[in-house]
Chain A
Amino acid sequence: MSTVMINLWYVVAAALFIFGLKQLGSPATAVRGNVLSSLAMVIAIAVTLLNKEILTFELILVAALIGAVIGAITAQKVEMTSMPEMVALFNGSGGIASLMVGWAALYNMGNTTFTDVTILLSIVIGGMTFSGSILAWGKLSEVMTSAAVVFGAQRIVNAGILVGLVVCSVLFCMDPSVDSPYLYAVIALSLLFGVMAVLPIGGADMPVVISLLNSYSGLAACAAGFAINNNILIVAGSMVGAAGIILTNIMCKAMNRSLGHVLFSGFGAVKQATKVEGEVKPIVAEDAFLILEAAQSVTFVPGYGMAVAQAQHVVRELGELLEKNGAEVTYAIHPVAGRMPGHMNVLLAEANVPYDQLVEMEDINPRIDNVDVAVVIGANDVVNPSARNDENSPIYGMPIINVDQARTVFVLKRSMGSGFSGVDNPLFFGDNTRMLFGDAKQSIAAVVAEFKG
């Protein structure tokens, strides 16, 4: 096939990617969107194989087969709760692939300086996507501490790495060769930079990091596209880059923090929040059942704790019982609940909660005072009223779900610890708040048993 024909097919693939992404934007068409986008990928791969420059196929076949098997098995096996880890790993493998594509492009003859620069870009972005994603995976799967790791000279070290990267890149471009020591320095420094960039980011900020790494993996593909003069890489890569940036932005807004603040400082409790004191009112499952039975409208507010306790299935069961009992049931989901954007939605969908029952923060807040019972399951900071009231609170200004304005609030909690940010939560001491202590799954199951009994 001629180069022109191949490029024409790339145009077809690009159009399908665009339609696919568009259809991913609505629940009704999303499945078709994903199929279209995968069709685009198949076309892109197939016509590339007809490229005259490709002479040997054995290596390609073996490599592709191994990759496809690994990918397919992980995709089938992964638990929905571990989705963030898996997306991190996939991001990482995309990143390292782009690094290698850039590296291999150095072996092409007659590269211009512009090409050399883009090769370096794909190596640097790909490298930091890879190591950053691996570290994010480590934090999410709790192979290592998920807390922010901050040390004194961090900024100086990071600045040093950045300067080193720029210097080595310039030195490489002045005398580009595949055995240049500066090439290895650039690869090593970009890997190091990815680690250093994710290290100071704590567990609750992970939605931002995952979105950002997603964006980087697209940008790395885009840079690789420049390196090998390929349109489809640039189009597809930059769309992914844009998508990642948008999600990153949504996550940052939902935490009322700037991207810079998330990236460069751990959740620093610079200000001392006003100490909250009061009496908590614990209840048992039996009382919770009596209140829920009388309720006309019930809203569940899930957080990462629900995922940890694997409580989504019993929650759905309770929701169905309440509906049969005549109550209106909704699930209010904060944009940053969980460890990646939309994490809670996927978990509830897995448990068969219909998506029209899932409501966003902006929709539930105006009518929260009509909610009889708000059930908070393993969420803390996203329902902390001091984000609204207490100017001294570190999370002041962050938009929250105003469950404290519901008629009654149940908080399911393991014990009286504070949330990830270590901020006290006045919600627990509210007059209308009842605490249901214990494992979320067992607590809900006990209430379900009351309903059935």
Chain B
Amino acid sequence: MEAVFLAMVLMLSIFLGFELISKVPATLHTPLMSGANAISGITIVGALISAGGESGAMSSYLGAAAVMFAMINVAGGYLVTNRMLSMFKKKDTSQTGGKS
């Protein structure tokens, strides 16, 4: 039953994802991609449980390595998305902002 429930969650989220993203203007494709990329670092949640759990040394080490890699993805992804988005300006403000 658990599997069926998870499959249901999966199905609904995929539809939701399609709905949310299908109308994004081309201008934002790169930030959207790097922002989505940062979200895929959610795997860190799984990594944390393995790293801190008591399923043995190997499991902890694998988990810790996964925490590191996922953290690169999360921290890097959000920061670079923010950096990119802050460069997008409307016409009126474009004169004041310097090169960031």
Q: Give A contacts to B, CB under 8 Å.
A: 17-18, 20-22, 24-27, 30-31, 33-35, 37-38, 41, 44-45, 48-49, 51, 53-57, 59-60, 62-64, 66-68, 70-72, 74-76, 78, 80, 83, 86-87, 90-91, 93-94, 96-98, 100-101, 103-105, 107-109, 114, 178, 210-211, 214, 217-218, 220-222, 224-247, 250, 313, 333, 335, 340-343, 345-346, 349-358, 360
CA separation between A406 and B84, bound complex, in Å? 32
Contacts of B50 in A (CB 8 A): 100-101, 104-105, 107, 228
**Residues of B participating in the A interface, judged by any CB pair closer than 8 Å:** 2-3, 6, 9-10, 13-18, 20-56, 58-94, 97, 99-100
> Which of B21, B37, B94 is the one whose CB lies under 8 Å from A217?
B37
Complex CA gap A82/B81 in Å reads: 14
- State how many angstroms separate the Cβ of B82 from the closest Cβ of chain A: 5
Determine the distance from Cα of A227 to Cα of B44 in the docked complex, in whole angstroms. 14
Q: Of B24, B59, B76, which contacts A75 at CB under 8 A?
A: B76
Across the interface, do A76 and B83 meet the contact criterion of CB distance under 8 Å?
yes
Chain B residues with CB below 8 A from A244, complex form: 33, 36
Is the beta-carbon distance between A59 and B52 smaller than 8 angstroms? yes
A104, chain B: closest CB distance, angstroms: 4
Residues of A within 8 A of B66 (CB): 96-98, 100-101, 104
Give every chain B residue within 8 A of A231 (Cβ-Cβ). 6, 9
A25 touches B24 (CB 8 A): yes
A/B interface sample: 13 pairs, CB < 8 A: A21-B36, A30-B28, A30-B85, A41-B39, A56-B60, A63-B51, A78-B80, A83-B84, A87-B33, A90-B37, A101-B63, A214-B33, A346-B30
B91 with A356: CB separation less than 8 A: yes
Q: Chain B residues near A18 (CB, 8 Å)?
A: 16, 20
Could you tell me the distance in whole angstroms from the C-beta of B24 to the nearest C-beta in chain A?
4
B35: chain A residues at CB < 8 Å are 20-21, 24, 33-34, 37
- B80 partner residues in chain A, CB cutoff 8 A: 74-75, 78, 83, 86, 90
Query: Which residues of A have CB within 8 Å of B15?
Result: 242
A247–B30 Cα distance when bound, in Å, is 10
Contacts A60-B51, A210-B33, A239-B39 known; A44 to B90 CB distance under 8 Å?
no
Rounded to whole angstroms, the CA-CA distance of A21 and B23 in the bound complex is 11
Give the docked Cα–Cα distance between A62 and B45 (Å).
16
Which residues from B are CB-within-8-Å of A360?
A: 25-26
Closest residue on chain A to residue B23 by CB atoms: A25
Count CB-based A-B contacts (< 8 Å): 393
Contacts of B22 in A (CB 8 A): 246
Question: Per a CB cutoff under 8 Å, which of B24, B40, B42, B88 touches A214?
Answer: B40
Once the chains are docked, how many angstroms separate the CA of A129 from the CA of B94? 38
User: Taking A48-B49, A63-B65, A240-B40 as contacts, is the C-beta distance between A234 and B33 under 8 angstroms?
Assistant: no
How far, in whole Å, are A233 and B66 apart by their CA atoms in the complex?
14
Cα–Cα distance between A342 and B100 once the two chains are bound (Å):
19
- Is the pair A104, B30 in contact by a Cβ cutoff of 8 Å? no
State the Cβ distance, A166 to closest chain B Cβ, in Å: 21
Shortest Cβ distance from B7 into chain A, in angstroms?
Answer: 9
Which B residues are CB-close (under 8 A) to A246?
Answer: 17-18, 21-22
Bound Cα distance A226, B2 (Å): 10
Other 19 A-B pairs with CB < 8 A, given A67-B74, A98-B46, A218-B39? A30-B88, A59-B63, A59-B64, A75-B77, A90-B76, A94-B69, A97-B43, A100-B65, A100-B66, A217-B37, A221-B40, A242-B13, A250-B26, A335-B26, A342-B29, A342-B31, A346-B31, A354-B90, A354-B91
Alpha-carbon distance between A333 and B37 when the two chains are bound, in angstroms: 23
B40 and A68 contacting across the interface, CB-CB below 8 Å: no
Are B25 and A27 neighbours in the complex by a CB distance under 8 Å? yes
CA distance in complex: A66, B9 (Å): 33
| Shortest CB distance A401–B (Å) | 13
Residues from chain A with a CB closer than 8 A to the CB of B64 are 59-60, 62-63
Contact of B17 among A41, A83, A242 (CB under 8 A): A242
With A64-B67, A217-B37 already in contact, the answer to whether A333 and B87 are too (CB < 8 A) is no
Inter-subunit contact A107/B56 (CB<8 Å):
yes
For A333, the closest partner residue in chain B by CB is B26
- Are A25 and B32 in contact (CB-based, < 8 A)? yes
A91-B37, A97-B66 in contact; A55/B52 too (CB < 8 A)? yes
Assembly CA distance A355 to B29 (angstroms): 13
Taking CB atoms, residues of chain B closer than 8 Å to A222 are 10
Nearest 9 CB-CB pairings of A with B: A67-B71, A242-B17, A342-B29, A54-B52, A71-B76, A71-B75, A341-B29, A75-B79, A100-B66
In the assembly, what is the distance between CA of A35 and CA of B53, in Å? 30
